[in-house]
Amino acid sequence: MGNKKNILIFAKDCPINDECGAGIYLRTLVYFLDKYYDVVIHILIGRYNKLKRYNHFIISPSKNIFIYHADKLCKEYKLPPLRWCSFKKRIIAEVVLFSKTSSYRFGQNYISWFILINHIIKVKNIDLTIIRDHQFLSYYPLYVNKKIISSIPNLYSILIPPVDFKDEYGHLKENNKLWTTVLITPNDLLYKPNFIYIPPMITNNVIRKPSYEKKNIISFIGTLTDNQHLREIAKAFNNSLKKKVLPSDYILNITGKCCLSKQYSKALYNEIQGYNMIKKNIILNLNINGIASDILETIIKDSLICIRIDINREVLSTKVLHYIDLCKPIILQKLNVHTYLLGDNYPFYINKNLDNSVNEIEDIFSKLNETNLKKAYDKICEAKLKVNDRYLYDNNPKLKSILNSKKIISIVGTRPQFLKVAPLCYEFKNTMHEHSIIHTGQHYDKELSEQLFKTLNIPEPQYHLKRDHSSSIHFFTSLMNELERILTIEKPDYIIVYGDCDTTFAGAFVAQKLGIQLIHIEAGMRSYNKAMPEEINRILTDNISNILLCTTKDSVENLEKENITNNVSLVGNLQLDLLKLTIEKNMSTVPSFDFEIKNYVLLTIHRNYNTTPEALTKIFKSLYLLKTNIIFPIHPRTKKIVNTNTLVVPANIKLVKPVSYFEMVHLLQNSNYVITDSGGLQPECWFLNKRCIVLRTETEWTEPIKSGNSILYDVEKPLAQFIQSFLKNNCEACSYNMNASKNIINIIDNINSL
């Protein structure tokens, strides 16, 4: 249980090396996933890699990366052989696919690939699939709708923006439900918020010293696809030489892979020569197979400045990344992706649309002084930090949420646990984690359980167990048997238990026995009274938990005293999260009692030692002497004891049925003070600045006691006199400002293997 996530990357015709931008993006993606995430990466390659660079991968060896060739897998899995589809065949396939009269004969071209991918997903237990091939995906919805193939679960499509993905008929796929779009961009705020982004990155953070002194080379390096822009660069350079804007010994270096036809290459060469520049001022190094990366790096290092002109696409090109990596100033368009990295006042921008680019480039050539070069260098160094892989990992919560997504089960069974799980459920909705609830039935009363789930809008439990009422021991053992059965089927990555009741330790014990990672929320709480079952549950649960999330500083210190320090975090109080939310949204409601709610004390009693007939009789007599109205939402078990033993309830105590959470908040806010033996009410009283008398001799909630807001009842003193004396004392206000649910999700998001 808790296995690594398996990722399938389908490269098909795209290399995973430094031969093209897409290949570099895929290579850095593989590097990024392997370095920062607890995943196993399966790479499926196809035609390009087989025919040209089958073994040419620039990927560091890793025990978590596996590379497969499609043809070999088809033979191994005894699947139909793959057929490579030409453009002409795709058009034929499209006509046949939608023909009402023709039979479908396209068969093995793209369909065979989908069959192979689905087979790999099944055999390798793939959790999510990443595909880079746009044409390939254009047929995918058609085949799924025709029920020719099964849909691929958890499918992600990589796009380099601003490509609008369209099918073969030109229909936009923005509303597509079959996959999630992944954009390669440094800033997800530039694009649709529902998309995921994987930033292009630099894998080192070394800031090189500026080296622009005494250099005289201006370089354009890249894949040469646009004759016009290259001619404009050459013309601007030539004009600058003639006007003596640039010194006569400056050199323009145009280097790269030539994708132009021989005719256009020759025309470019002739036109540049036609500017009558002497040979020492121009270097043309065009090669149809590209230029070796070590040669390119040398050229960049030897250049004063580099030029990068694209086709007005919001793309952070791999060449710009390369220049940033080498801390080299760049002349480039003022695109959003560039201003995000370099700011608006970077000195060497040209117009986004390349209008009047000759004059703009000439103007920049006139500003190649040490001041502007130093300013550009500083901006480049700042940009390098933004595309560093560690920075991108820390600042990409969407991607982190997907790749670190876990299957998590919360085990709850009592009213306080329902209050704790509620704000965490709200937060889980904003993540990719699969979170579900097991309700153990420990609080089995419908008014205390089902009503609370509906009131708080908590998702229905996936499993709702029925409590065996024969004895606590029998409940505990039968609960563990049921939990073992369920968790063996569900195989979660993590179990979350809350607080200190029997449900807490039963869930913790079963998780530990099954080898499931255990998270204990409200860890480290101690009353140091081992006569309390809750104290035993706390100690045992903390000692077998993998991740311990503490509510207070005192609880962290308690764990330190017990030499429990690994994976301990102070996260805050989930119940106070819920209380804050209730107050902020004004969700508290007035209970509908048959008497006026005015000038009252709020009372809650439920612990065994306070609910014996003798204890209740003594408490009632003491409360009668307060001579004040008391509202007592009575626990079903306590009510049964009162009725069975025909106990006399004083007239100033109003017994009411259990109230909803929002009604309880209203009663708390409007009470004079509170008398309780509850644990959860103590911090809530402190937060609301309501004084609290705790009908116990010890408590795990020590901070409200230290503040003076709460006090433990001294049974040797008359209750009325004790309360009057306590209320005269001053106390410190609660300064709680944490967000426990967000803190817990953040910890879960960043968990790798423990």
| Residues involved in catalysis | 606
> What phi, psi does 327 have (nearest 5°)?
55, 45
Strand locations in 201-316 (E): 217-224, 251-258, 282-287, 305-308
| Cross-strand pairs, 7 | 41, 128
Best CA proximity match to 287, nearest among 262, 308, 304, 267: 262
- What number of other Cβ atoms are within 10 A of residue 263's Cβ? 8
Cα 362 to Cα 237: distance, rounded to the nearest angstrom: 7
| Cross-strand pairs, 519 | 496, 547
| Cross-strand pairs, 349 | 332
Amino acid present at 642: V
Three-state SS for 477? helix
Structure tokens at 150: 């099964």
The number of C-alpha atoms within 13 Å of 147 and in the hemisphere containing its C-beta is 0
The secondary structure of 418-476 as a DSSP string is: HHHHHHHHHHHTTSS-EEEEEE--SS--TTTTHHHHHHTTPPPPSEEPPPP-S-HHHHH
Cα 517 to Cα 526: distance, rounded to the nearest angstrom: 23
In terms of C-beta density within 10 A (0-12 exposed, 13-18 middle, 19 or more buried), how is residue 375 classed?
middle
| Cross-strand pairs, 40 | 6
- What number of other Cβ atoms are within 10 A of residue 668's Cβ? 19
Pairing of strands 251-258, 282-287: parallel
Say which residues have a Cβ less than 8 Å from residue 580's Cβ, sequence separation at least 6: 687
The secondary structure of 90-115 as a DSSP string is: HHHHHHHHH-SSSPP--TTSSHHHHH
Structure tokens at 327: 């801390």
Cα 133 to Cα 138: distance, rounded to the nearest angstrom: 9
- What number of other Cβ atoms are within 10 A of residue 262's Cβ? 9
> What phi, psi does 693 have (nearest 5°)?
-100, 120
Cα 479 to Cα 244: distance, rounded to the nearest angstrom: 88
Structure tokens at 551: 């509510």
Three-state SS for 271? helix
- In angstroms, the Cα distances linking 176 to 103, 148, 180, 181, 196 are 27, 18, 8, 9, 14
Three-state SS for 411? strand
Cα 483 to Cα 518: distance, rounded to the nearest angstrom: 14
